[in-house]
Amino acid sequence: MMIVLTPIREFKVPIFAECISPEVFEGKNIVQIGQLPVYEGNREKKLQELFKIEEAKTAEGVAEPAITIQGDVSKLKYIGAGMTKGEIVINGSVGMYLGEEMKGGKITVYGNAGGWAGSAMKGGTIEIHGDAGDYLAAPYRGSTQGMSGGKIIVYGNAGVDAGAYMRKGIIKVHGNAGQFVGVGMHDGVIYVKGNCDGRAGSCMTGGTIVISGFIESILPTFTFEGLKKKVKIEESEVVEVPLYLFIGDLTENGKGKLYVSKANNPQLYYYERFL
Amino acid sequence: MTVVKAVTCPVCGCLCDDIELTVRNGRIIKVKNGCAMCEAKFLSHASDHRPTKSMIRREGKLVEVSLEEAVRKAAEILVDASYPVLYGWSSTSCEATKVGIELCEEIGGVIDNTAVVCHGPSILAVQQVGIPSCTLGQVRHRADLIIYWGCDPWSAHPRHIERYTAFSEGRFEKSAWRTYINKVKALVGSKKIESAIRRLAIKSWEPAVARVEKSPSQYLSREGRKLIVVDVRRTKTAEMADYFIQVEPGKDYELFKAMRALIRDQEIEVDRVAGVPVEYLEDVVDVMVSCDFGAIFFGLGLTMGSAKLKNIEEAIRLTRDLNMRTKFIIMPMRGHFNVAGANIVSTWETGYPFAVDFSLGYPRYNPGETSVVDILLRKESDAALVIASDPVSNFPHKASEHLVQKPLIVIDAHMNVTASMADVFIPAAMVGIEAEGTAYRMDHVPIPLKKVVDPPEGVFSDEEILRLILSEVRKIKKERMEAG
Amino acid sequence: MELLIKNGYVFDPLNGINGEKMDIAVKSGKIVEKVSKKAKVIDASGMTVMPGGVDIHSHIAGGKVNSGRMLRPEDHFRDVEKKTAVTRSGVGYSIPSTFTTGYRYARMGWTTVMDPAMPPLEAKHTHEELSDIPIIDKASYPLLGDWWFVLEYLRDGRIEECARHVAWMLKATKGYAIKIVNPGGLEAWGFGRNVHSINDPIPNFCITPREIIRGLCKVNKLLHLPHTIHLHTNNLGMPGNYLTTLETMRCVEDMYDGGKPVMHITHCQFSAFKGEDWRTFDTGAEEIAEYMNAHSHVTLDMGQVIFTDTTTMTADGPFQYTLYTLTGNKWVNHDVETETSSGIVPFQYRPKSAVHATQWSIGLELALLIKDPWKIFLTTDHPNAGPFIGYPQVIAWLMSCKAREETLKKLHPKARKKSLLPTINREFSLYDIAVVTRAGQALALGLTFKGHLGVGADADIAIYNINPEKLDPSRDYEAVIKAFGCAAYTIKGGDIVVENGEVLKHVPGATLWVNVETCKPCEMEVDEGLKRRFREYWTVEYENYPVDEHYLAISRKINVKADV
């Protein structure tokens, strides 16, 4: 069964919509789903007051619950938070905390996502075809328990602090990433195909960051390890271009690996004197 | 004529409480011990331009109304809103903030204080890594190395150096300036002392500047208290320092990183960091690890620098690392006199220091999401109450635009820019002059604020006005509930 | 208002009542002989009735507690309390916000809580928070063990002046008792150092921790304070520190005259470590208990570990720094000029850590091996060894071997092997529980109107869903946990504030403080020279230092007359 949600009107104030999650919808009929509570600002509403709710047939044999949202829901927070299975497709932009702490299933966004998408996620997949906001996969304020599994693919750009305190899993950004990508990460892989705003991997203790584009400088607390011919991102993907490898962050006694494309970063040439 | 002693100055985070005021006919006529900002503030209470009547906007114009009418209108605006914001709080008393939080909870709004545009990033950094700090007296008694980083106390916290740090006299650390200041004080007025100190500072303590290639060793080798300033430009404080490091704009983060590496005896593979030769940095770090008690004070130069909260995180980590070798503390230079108090009260009542969202009936917090500037930039709020603050003159233009587009209530002692754009304006007494209360110094020491003179007739304190609005809000909610 | 609690099984150890079925009458906030026919009746048949709980040591308010709250949004963002028609909203877990603190204590049937660490300079902050905490009565102990005036007077042997200054300080801070934390260590920490035994000289002051402890013990006697000195030992949290603890207890033996105890050692679990280092870490509970069973001049509280994620916070700056270096967790330090220090480090107690598991065992061993329950009280040193909402669990461990065995099974094997618990069969009765959670604590605090249900006492009463004739706590300890976690009724000052775990009323609680009348005025109040010294010692003015009584929502002054 697939539920299709279409916003009835334009939303202005933030909406807390934790209930939009496959397992919450599972086993409920349209009427029951329509009664689910959401908060629009400080007003408690029913889902049906905000959305037209319809049921659509899914392909034969697909048992997993699925939700499709048609339209802009960039004011909606916590869609798919904590989900463990099923699928959410959003044809439009979405608000903050998409798939926060999700454990399984898949979320696809054909639009942009707000901040903290995949915050502290544990498993499953998030695909964002537009841009991701700041703090992609990062944990809540004060916490150092970042993303611990799963996969995030962003086809556009990512904001600052992508993959902060990451412990496991993989993040791929096809566009550019903001400052502090992989800050404080322990393990896992972050692959930025575009450029990076700098300070990549600060305070990292482990894990791998690969930057194919331009990065102005490497933090002084990374040590140059040499020139590599290729680096493996995951089973099916290997980046085969010459890359500088740095190890850090020394101030945290870190052993993280920071790979930076040689071709796109001629300003880092002087490190080669250490070869 | 009466003289009131031990008055607390409601201007900056130093919260000097040794001010002496002379009052005649309900007016303050003389201010002793205070800095220029203090003097100006205390004398301003009797300004002719003080608004004393409540106002409501009708057909585009602010017209005078009774207090009751203004309170009723304000309460209606707040009850009708789905996502109101309550902003300001840093220049009022903790008692007023408490009522503000209760009001915000009652109407399901977002309450945020001015920390969000100054030391908010410092708080976020503390939440990530903690902070080794102390009260200011501890610095006065013990510190033999003072570092001001990205701040200019000489201009923004004029008595900080004299009362708490380099020029103060403590149990274990004497001030090289003490005798000099005392001598001059006996001879001349306080303003002359200030200029005299400055002249002396410029003459005898011409600091070396790292950027122009002067090695720190000769400047930092003397005995006694030492003062280092790190900033992007040569400020007045920098002119007084023993050593001045001019950091390349936006590169403080890299400088912290490099210092941390040096403290840990790690090799740095570049020759210069943030424009400073590494060998000079090595000398500075030597001075840092060999002092008995070091103190770093930082300001908006760091919190608003390119790395924002990460700058502070790294500064704190540097301080933490230094504690492996000696005693070191770090402290933000809080601006408004009670911004620390606003954070503190908010924390004990809600668990969070600023940017608290009550729309779900319980406190939620995540600056970036629940911070007022971000809410305004996303155009999410549908009403606002601003108290003791002037956001329109310092918020980003787009944020101010949304703020004034929606119903706006302003409570302030003065008709500032924000107040002039309000839909409801209620004049308030000046806390610390015309109303009492409690404020917290930048080091979290609570100090009482005195009521020295009466407010203009018909003008109430922030706390009283907020109580009126709160009870009106409850009345309206009850009326509506009964009406179904 | 009148109230009659009928037919409950009453446990009131201070009046020797052990589970008798009887009625309790309440009028105008006090326990009375009898009430009129108009009294509201609570049918407590089949239930346990006790005096409201008393907590001798729980960090619930003040600068350090609040810094802990500010430090840890991740600690409380999932544990929230929604606003209701009668209650305020808030957040919980290890450092609950003020309103939540009051509600959660009241829900468990606790009505009096002592905050044990108030830096005098920041006393206004502590009182602002205490006044904000609803329902429960409370008090706070000013930190005086490293106060320069104390160090200097004791160094110079001027004990009477010292006593008068302490009396002034209690008044100025609206404090309740003399708190001493790692004496001398905190002053040394001002320059990043520490002291390591009670005989170490304190840098710059030519005095030892032993002299501070003995001196303030004497001061306490001269002032006739209701509580004893309240001591957090030197070397707290260090392997092998049980020796320091024994030496500390011995050093005041001669001051005991057979009457009231002269010293309270708090959260003793943290001071009963044996072993050379963390690898050889072991329990020192047996030795401490042996000493306690042979002496009567000391009382203790447990500081029982609960396996959870919590926040450690003490005035012991150097100890908190050690904890930071051990864990690498975020660290707050806050030294207070002329007076004290403090530190905060988040901490997770795990059963699979040999050290944490042994710490868990030590707390229970102390409580069970010390034969007299009037000598050791139930605390978790909230939130240091665990948040106070864990008390019902601790009660279950004390009442049931089975509950202890269940937990023992989950421990690190090394800790399980070292634990003395499998050899201990003692199980607390409900009467013993009433001693260690109320009566004993009230007695040690000298709170004559709390902790019992005799005529004239405050009508603070907890009623639990426990039928002592039917329930076997040893077997059915889960029911005990449930009952103590959610009181059937909590009555505070004659008001029914909680029913079946639900808060019915948001009433303010009182703040208790000791007003010592000295024979001569304190030198600080009359000597202009000392007032000048005040300005040299602190960065605030003399006039702005004391806590005005208006900071206390309800001020409850306890007058005592001093010898000096």
B254-313 residue pLDDT tens? 999 999 999 999 989 888 999 999 999 999 999 999 999 999 999 999 998 888 899 999
**For residue B154, is pLDDT > 80?**
yes
Write the CB contacts of C549 (distance below 8 Å, at least 6 apart in sequence).
C174, C555
ipTM over 0.90: yes
Helices first, then strands: H and E counts in chain C: 20, 26
Nearest Cα residue in chain B from C94: B351
Residues 6+ apart with CB under 8 A from A236: none
Smallest CA–CA distance from A140 into chain C, residue: C74
Smallest CA–CA distance, residue A139 to chain C, in Å, is: 9
Residue B190 neighbours by CB distance under 10 Å: 15
Tell whether B356 and B265 lie within a shared domain.
no
Same domain, B272 and B356: no
Nearest residue of A to residue B105, measured between CA atoms: A42
User: Which residues does chain A have within 8 Å of residue C73's beta carbon, measured at their own beta carbons?
Assistant: 140-142
A181-223 residue pLDDT tens? 999 999 999 999 999 999 999 999 999 999 999 999 999 999 9
Burial class (CB in 10 A: 0-12, 13-18, 19+), A230: exposed
- Same domain assignment for residues B109 and B127: no
**What are the tens digits of pLDDT across the range A146-182?**
999 999 999 999 999 999 999 999 999 999 999 999 9
The yes-or-no verdict on residue B201 having pLDDT over 80 is no
Rounded CA gap, A148 and A168, in Å? 4
| B261: closest CA of chain A, how far (Å) | 6
Q: What is the residue extent of each domain of chain C?
A: 2-51+453-503, 62-445
Looking up tokens 């030795």 gives C287
Distance CA C118, CA B381 (A): 41
- If asked whether residues B300 and B187 sit together in one domain, one would say yes
- Residue B165's closest chain C neighbor by CA? C539
Note whether C75 contacts A: Cβ–Cβ < 8 A.
yes
Q: Where does the pLDDT of residue B202 fall: very low under 50, low under 70, confident under 90, or very high at 90 and above? A: very low
B332, B358, B392 - which closes a domain: B332
Do residues B357 and B479 share a domain? yes
What SS3 class is residue B272?
A: strand
Question: Rounded mean pLDDT of B32-47?
Answer: 93
Q: What is the chain A residue with the closest CA to C71?
A: A142
Question: Could you tell me if residue B156 is inside a domain?
Answer: yes
Per residue in B310-360, pLDDT tens? 999 999 999 999 999 999 999 999 999 999 999 999 999 999 999 999 999
Q: Any chain B CB within 8 A of the CB of C76? A: yes
Would you state the torsion angle of the CA atoms of residues B267, B271, B273, B278, taken in this order, to the nearest 10 degrees?
A: 70
Largest CA distance in chain B: 80
Q: Is residue B399 part of a domain?
A: yes
> Under DSSP, is residue A39 helix (H, G, I), strand (E, B) or coil?
strand
* Contact call for B266 and A271, based on CB within 8 A: no
**What pLDDT score was predicted for residue B190?**
55
Q: What is the CA radius of gyration of chain C?
A: 22
Partner residue facing B359 (CB), from A42, A75, A251: A42
Query: In the predicted model, what is the mean pLDDT of residues B39-43?
Result: 95
- Does B226 contact A at CB distance below 8 Å? no
How would you class C8 by CB atoms within 10 Å of its CB: exposed for 0-12, middle for 13-18, buried for 19 or more? buried
pLDDT of residue B180: 46
A199 reaches B (C-beta below 8 A): yes
CB < 8 Å from A in window 299-338 of C = 330
| Facing residue for B444 by CB, picked from C63, C89, C204 | C63
Least confident of B151-165, B168-182, C42-56, C477-491: B168-182
Asked if C71 and A142 come within 8 Å (Cβ–Cβ), the reply is yes
On whether any CB of chain B is under 8 Å from the CB of A271, the answer is yes
Residue B215's pLDDT is 76
pLDDT per residue as tens, chain C (564 positions): 899 999 999 999 999 999 999 999 999 999 999 999 999 999 999 999 999 999 999 999 999 999 999 999 999 999 999 999 999 999 999 999 999 999 999 999 999 999 999 999 999 999 999 999 999 999 999 999 999 999 999 999 999 999 999 999 999 999 999 999 999 999 999 999 999 999 999 999 999 999 999 999 999 999 999 999 999 999 999 999 999 999 999 999 999 999 999 999 999 999 999 999 999 999 999 999 999 999 999 999 999 999 999 999 999 999 999 999 999 999 999 999 999 999 999 999 999 999 999 999 999 999 999 999 999 999 999 999 999 999 999 999 999 999 999 999 999 999 999 999 999 999 999 999 999 999 999 999 999 999 999 999 999 999 999 999 999 999 999 999 999 999 999 999 999 999 999 999 999 999 999 999 999 998 888 888 888 889 899 999 999 999 999 999 999 999 999 999
Question: Are B215 and B325 contained in the same domain?
Answer: yes
Query: CB of A255 within 8 Å of any CB in chain B?
Result: no
The CATH number of residue B281's host domain is 3.40.228.10
Residue C11 CB partners (closer than 8 Å, separation 6+): C17, C18, C19, C48, C49, C50, C430, C431, C433, C434
Q: How many residues does chain C have?
A: 564
Asked if A273 reaches chain B (Cβ–Cβ under 8 Å), the answer is no
The dihedral sign for the CA sequence A138, A139, A140, A144: negative
CB-closest option in A77, A140, A220 to B258: A220
Would B33 be classed as within a structural domain?
Answer: no
Q: Is the pLDDT of residue A262 over 90?
A: yes
> What is the per-residue pLDDT across A63-94, written as a single tens digit (0 to 9) for each?
778 999 999 999 999 999 999 999 999 999 99
Query: CB–CB of C72 and A142 under 8 A?
Result: yes
C74 interaction partners in chain A (CB closer than 8 Å): 139-143
A116 touches B at CB < 8 Å: yes
Residues of A in contact with B260 (CB under 8 A): 221, 251
- Whether residue B255 sits in one domain with residue B289: yes
If one counts the domains in chain B, the total is 2
Same-domain pairing of B275 and B348:
no
Any B CB within 8 A of C83 CB: yes
> What is the phi/psi pair of residue A115, to 5°?
-65, 160
Interface residue of A42, A44, A143 to substitute, partner C, most C CBs within 10 Å:
A143
Instruction: Find, among C121, C172, C195, C14, the residue nearest to C522 by Cα.
Output: C172
Task: Look up residue C143 and give its DSSP letter.
Answer: B
Per-residue pLDDT, B484: 79
Of A134, B215, A10, B326, whose CA–CA distance to C192 is shortest? Answer: B326
Per DSSP, helices labelled H in C400-448 are 401-409, 413-418, 430-434, 440-445
With beta carbons under 8 A apart, name residues in chain B contacting C125: 344, 440, 444, 446
**CB-count burial class (<10 Å; 0-12, 13-18, 19+) for C500:** exposed
Last residue of a domain, one of B332, B351, B384: B332
Give chain B's length: 484
pLDDT at B198: 56
Q: What is the DSSP string of C339-378?
A: TB--EEEEEE--TTSHHHHHHHHHHHHHHHHSS-GGGEE-
pLDDT range class, residue B210, cuts 50, 70, 90 = low
Is C72 an 8 Å CB contact of chain A? yes
Distance CA B76, CA A30 (A): 37
* pTM over 0.80, yes/no: yes
How large is the average pLDDT for residues B409-418?
96
Q: How far apart are CA B320 and CA B303, in angstroms?
A: 18
Mean pLDDT is highest, among B167-171, B214-218, B387-391, for: B387-391
Residue C71 contacts A, CB cutoff 8 Å: yes
Instruction: Please choose, from the candidates C107, C51, C136, C176, the residue with its C-alpha nearest in 3D space to the C-alpha of residue C456.
Output: C51
B417 and B373 housed in the same domain: yes
> Chain A: nearest CA to C73, how far in angstroms?
6
B196 confidence band (pLDDT: 50, 70, 90): low
- Which run of H or of E encompasses C244? helix C242-250
Task: Tell me the average pLDDT across A231-247.
Answer: 95
Tokens of C464: 């639990």
CB–CB of B323 and C192 under 8 A?
A: yes
Size of interface A-B (CB pairs under 8 A): 94
C109 bridge partner residues: none
Chains in contact with chain B (at least 3 beta-carbon pairs closer than 8 A): A, C
- Enclosing domain of residue B347: 49-118+337-483
Nearest CB among B98, B138, B360 relative to C335 is that of B138
Is the same domain home to B272 and B303? yes
Tell me which chain A residue has its CA closest to the CA of residue B265. Answer: A251
Q: What is the pLDDT of residues A97-146, one digit of tens each?
A: 999 999 999 999 999 999 999 999 999 999 999 999 999 999 999 999 99
Q: Among B140, B353, B361, select the one facing C70 at the smallest CB separation.
A: B353
**What is the rounded radius of gyration, in angstroms, for the C-alpha atoms of chain B?**
24
Minimum Cα–Cα distance from A217: chain B residue: B254
In angstroms, rounded to a whole number, what is the distance separating the alpha carbons of residues C336 and C126?
Answer: 14
The answer to whether residues B268 and B116 touch, using CB atoms and an 8 Å cutoff, is: no
Kindly tell me if the per-residue pLDDT of B211 is higher than 60: no
Contact yes or no for B380 and A179 at CB 8 A: no
CB B424 within 8 A of CB B410: yes
The correct answer on CATH 2.30.40.10 for the domain covering C2-51+453-503 is yes
Nearest to B350 among C97, C330, C344 (CB): C97
pLDDT of residue C482: 98
d(CA B429, CA B449): 13
Query: d(Cα C311, Cα B381) in Å, to the nearest integer?
Result: 35
How many percent of chain B have pLDDT more than 90? 82
Task: Select C62-445's CATH number: 3.20.20, 1.10.287, 3.30.70, 1.20.140.
Answer: 3.20.20
Domain assignment of residue B9, yes or no: no
Cα–Cα distance, B143 to B146 (Å, whole number): 7
Task: Give the pLDDT of residue B242.
Answer: 87
